[in-house]
Structure 1
Amino acid sequence: MSTEIRNESDQSRYTITVDGELAGFADYTITGTTIVFTRTEVDPTKRQAGLGAQLVQFALDDVRTSGTLAVVPKCSFVAHFIDSHPDYQELVDRG
């Protein structure tokens, strides 16, 4: 199984593909100095593979690398991931 995750900034989403087929995405909007994650979806037949967690971790690591944006987790999946992984708390702007 070949997995690829990337930021498709022209569509304001991170995507994960498995063997060349779209398996999930995390939508976002950037406003000023925040990135608001609004929706995450993974193909129901692939959810048990942990693809959602891989996708969100990649997205948050990408945000961390940029060093310029604070995360607003409007999507419940992203919020839960951050709550379960305290090392991502410093990225969050829950204001």
Structure 2
Amino acid sequence: MSMYPHRAMGAVPPNNSARLNELLDQIRTEFDTQMRQTEGYEHQIQAQVQEMQLVREKVYAMEQAQMNLKQKYVTRVWLDQGKLHEC
């Protein structure tokens, strides 16, 4: 005899089996939905990371161009000052 007489041991009744299958299907559906949402977020993050990398590269290029222009300017000023002192 079972320790819990109100619950007999044995197979799951058919209506409970159908309910279990229904609940498992709902869980699968929710899991698939969450996976698609996660993939969407990952795609968005990757796109933003790529955009940030592009911005970083452009800023670096602008810094390099600014340093080159500054060096040319300083050189030009130095040469012009040298010419003024010669006169």
TM-score band w.r.t. shorter chain: under 0.3
Name the structure where helix makes up a greater proportion of residues: 2
Name the structure where strand makes up a greater proportion of residues: 1
- TM-score, normalisation: structure 2: 0.24
Larger Rg: 2
Higher relative contact order (CA 8 A, sep 6+): 1
